[in-house]
């Protein structure tokens, strides 16, 4: 009998020890007393009454991920496609999460499928493929409002894959290929255009430079010729001045210059020169002046 009481006492102690619970971080325990909600235990050490209190659910508070299988949806232009979604959610009220709905994850999955069908049904295929961010935002807002009574907050919804029918995918690939070829042709044409423009501009600049060079050459040649004439005229003027300083009259100087003109016209090739009588008298005078200038 004594061993029976000892065993009973040991079992009672063990059971009382099991009534002490440690709730880990980012978790909560839902406690019922005699079948009715009593407490929500947060992280830390807690003790429950034996045979009266019991832990009915452990609720994680960390953000969770629900990856749902692809759902068939129909677009506004009657294209059937498969879309699978990923939902990021977090429990903010463990009591509502426990007593609000029977199977919260299944409820989120079905709610996600129906919401997705409603949104995609208002969009055409091209809009669906290019409006992921818009669809994600709409679904996140709608699901967050719908899951509030369940103590669940929807942080983010992502369309993981959008899978159109094979025929649509093939047509899209052909369209993309044609678009790439079109862009390539445009780039090639623009490159050839720029090349032709650069070549024409180069030829234009070359012609301008050649014209400038020719212009400068002609200007320099004209300036040289003008300088030569100027110096020649200056020499003639100096000759006239020298003759005038030698005491000759203007008429005699003119006759002397006429004699020089006859000499130049002969150019050393004429064997006979006919000199007018009024110039012959100047010849001797020219010889005298020549000897005077040499002395």
- The string of pLDDT tens digits covering residues 164-215 is 877 777 777 787 888 888 888 898 888 888 888 888 888 888 888 888 888 8
Between residues 56 and 245, which one has the greater pLDDT? 56
- Indicate the range of 8-22, 100-114, 223-237 predicted with least confidence: 8-22
Section 84-91 average pLDDT: 93
Give the SS3 label for residue 91.
strand
How far apart, in whole angstroms, are the C-alpha atoms of residue 94 and residue 150?
9
Of 110, 89, 86, give the one whose Cα is nearest residue 161: 86
Whether 104 and 153 have beta carbons less than 8 Å apart is answered as: no
Q: Is 119 left (phi over 0), alpha (psi -120 to 50) or beta?
A: alpha
Residues in the chain: 295
Q: How far is CA 262 from CA 267, 274, 280, in A?
A: 9, 9, 12
How far apart, in whole angstroms, are the C-alpha atoms of residue 109 and residue 94?
19
Between residues 172 and 131, which one has the greater pLDDT? 131
pLDDT of 29 reads: 92
**Which residue is listed with tokens 């002046």?**
289
The answer for residues whose C-beta is within 8 angstroms of residue 149's C-beta and 6 or more apart is: 96, 100
pLDDT of 289 reads: 47
Q: Residue 287's pLDDT band (boundaries 50, 70, 90)? A: very low
pTM exceeds 0.85 for this model: no
Between residues 218 and 173, which one has the greater pLDDT? 218
Does position 78 have pLDDT exceeding 50, yes or no?
A: yes
Does position 120 have pLDDT exceeding 60, yes or no?
A: yes
């Amino acid at each position: 009998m004594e061993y029976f009481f000892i065993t009973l006492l040991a079992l009672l102690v063990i059971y009382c020890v099991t009534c002490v619970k440690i709730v880990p971080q980012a978790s909560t325990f839902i406690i019922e007393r005699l079948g009715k909600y009593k407490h929500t235990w947060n992280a830390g050490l807690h003790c429950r009454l034996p045979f009266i209190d019991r832990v009915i659910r452990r609720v994680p508070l960390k953000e969770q991920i629900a990856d749902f299988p692809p759902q068939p949806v129909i677009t506004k232009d009657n294209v059937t496609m498969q879309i699978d979604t990923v939902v990021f959610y977090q429990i903010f009220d463990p009591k509502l999460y426990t007593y609000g709905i029977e199977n919260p994850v299944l409820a989120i999955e079905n709610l996600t499928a129906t919401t997705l069908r409603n949104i995609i049904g208002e969009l055409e295929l091209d809009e669906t493929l290019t409006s992921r961010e818009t669809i994600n935002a709409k679904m996140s807002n709608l699901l967050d409002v719908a899951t509030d009574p369940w103590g669940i907050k929807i942080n983010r919804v992502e369309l993981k894959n959008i899978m159109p029918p094979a025929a649509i995918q093939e047509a899209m690939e052909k369209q993309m290929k044609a678009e790439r070829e079109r862009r390539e042709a445009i780039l090639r044409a623009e490159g050839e255009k720029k090349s032709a423009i650069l070549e024409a501009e180069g030829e234009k600049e070359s012609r301008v430079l050649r014209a400038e060079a020719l212009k400068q050459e002609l200007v320099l040649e004209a300036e040289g010729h003008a300088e030569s004439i100027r110096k020649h005229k200056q020499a003639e003027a100096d000759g006239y001045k020298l003759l005038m300083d030698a005491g000759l009259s203007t008429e005699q100087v003119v006759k002397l210059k006429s004699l020089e003109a006859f000499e130049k016209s002969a150019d050393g090739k004429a064997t006979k020169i006919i000199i007018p009588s009024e110039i012959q008298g100047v010849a001797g005078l020219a010889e005298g002046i020549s000897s005077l200038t040499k002395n």
